[in-house]
A and B are shown apart, each in its own frame.
Chain A
Amino acid sequence: MKCQKCEKPATFHITDLTGEGLLELHLCAECARTYLQPEGEPAAPKMGNVIEGQLKLEQTAEELKELDNKTCPVCGISFFEFRQVGRLGCPYDYQFFQKELEPLLLNVHGSTEHPGKHPRRPTLSPEHSTEIIGLRRKLREAVEREDYEQASKVRDQIKQHEEVTRRDS
């Protein structure tokens, strides 16, 4: 007898009491395990768990430490911070952490390519986007060290960029 859910031989014969009466199932070991898995199994994999699982599989402790210290030059987020909170810091992170994110994307989505909707008009180039985000970080850092002269310079640079992007849109 074949399994009712796949082509393998059925080795489990389950009789289940359901609202509509008795339900008879003939399944292979694998399909039976899925069918009988404990109730309340978490549905969506939690971001943190997925990342942890991924890392343990592929990295030694030393490599992991090195990876954790890897920091995006644009927004300043470390891989450790991303791993902790499950959120990236800027669009450039997808490029900068590409190698680390790829297995994660495959695990969650089963794919690394978007076949769907595209914006109708060209958006900012990655270089342009990265440059403005970098300037915003410079501005914050200048304000933090109370270097107002530098802050004012950077602010003007950002304004120039904003005028260009506004004209584009």
Chain B
Amino acid sequence: MTVETLVQEVGEWLRGSGPESDIVMSTRIRLARNLADFPFIRRCSDIDRANIEVTVRERMCQDSELSKLEYVNVAQLDDLDRQVLVERQLISRELAEAEGARTVAIDSDERHSIMINEEDHLRIQVMQSGLDVEKAWDRINRLDDTIETHVNYAFDETLGYLTACPTNVGTGLRVSVLVHLPALVITQQIDKAFRSLNRINLVVRGLHGEGSEALGDFYQVSNQITLGKTEDDLVRRVAEVVPVLLNYERKARDFLMNENQHSVFDQVSRAYGTLQTAQQISSEEAMHNLSRVRLGINLGLIDDLDIAVVNRLFVQMQPAHLQKLTRKIDSSSQRNIERANYLHAQLKSQTKSSDDN
């Protein structure tokens, strides 16, 4: 697997299948783990970091399952390739921007990845299409067990898994559900919906986590606390609350269709038209319009485009992906032209009516 081949397709979790996939793009869970016999990253020397990277990689490679992963040396990648991995959510911005020895081990279907030397020595994450937190927990729990047979985790009988930041201590677990909420945005109810989530200890972030913007009306809903509850409790809480949010979005969609169908059809059609005809388009504008088109497909207003294509384009419209795909390293205005061209070609070849011709 090279970054070049990676950008042509998208991971399993973006195929747009799984429960509630009209609104929920993906469920991901990460576990923060540290080795017991090294200082946390903050107090690691370069030698320590290199040691951790080699130790963890070597031990993981002794395992028949873990040895099949693709080990990507993030320190040796150029900035563009690192950015591609960030845009695909295989690594965090923190890992991309860090210094020193660091690696990510990626499963070939991009269903899980393991970062070495992020904020914690190990950040294990699994991705699942649609809303399926129980399955995601089951998978990451087994993956964690497998890794644990090869390394010594820093664990305290009272506090649980010890992490560099006290906000992650205990379970080290964060469940994030990536939801697409265009109707709540259009009806201006999004802030209110989130305020009700905040009150029950769930956090909402943009597409790429903390401090990032909600590009394309995508939001991540995740648990805030990691200590004092079992993993099952934390996972169940998210599994119970997300459907409430989905219900808000569905009601807002019904409202748009019943009360405002002309206006929403107009917005969807203009967005689709823009994507098909614009001569230059920024990443933000492309995401905004793709969001409207995705809503249009879900509402049955667009019937000649597959939702999986839109899901893929969301990823490929991001700057690093586009640069890889078009192989142009020009100014951002040139990139906006390339983006428009790429969209035309993709939408033309992927629409169902053109298949019939």
Contacts and interface: CB of A to CB of B under 8 A. Distances in A.
B277 interface: no
Contacts of A93: 40
B152 A124 contact: yes
A113 B162 CA distance: 12
A71 B293 CA distance: 56
A116 B231 contact: yes
A115 B230 contact: yes
Contact of B191 (A40, A111, A117, A118): A40
Nearest to A136: B48
A46 to B, nearest CB: 9
A113 B228 contact: yes
Given A105-B227, A118-B155, A123 B162 contact: no
| Dominant SS among interface residues on chain A | loop
A87 interface: yes
B244 interface: no
Among A89, A114, A136, residue most surrounded by chain B Cβ atoms (within 10 Å): A114
Contact of B156 (A35, A91, A128): A91
Interface in B177-229: 187, 189, 191-192, 194-195, 198-199, 203-205, 224-229
Contact of B152 (A44, A81, A169): A169
A52 to B, nearest CB: 14
Interface in A101-129: 101, 104-105, 108-121, 123-124, 126, 128-129
B165 A90 contact: no
A90 B40 contact: yes
A28 interface: no
Given A108-B167, A117-B171, A43 B204 contact: yes
A156 to B, nearest CB: 15
A34 interface: yes
B223 to A, nearest CB: 10
B45 interface: yes
Interface stretch (B76-84, B143-151, B345-353): B143-151
B203 A43 contact: yes
Given A91-B34, A111-B228, 13 more contacts: A18-B189, A20-B251, A77-B42, A89-B40, A89-B43, A91-B36, A91-B156, A105-B227, A110-B228, A111-B227, A126-B156, A132-B38, A168-B152
Closest 3 CB pairs of A and B: A111-B228, A114-B160, A89-B43
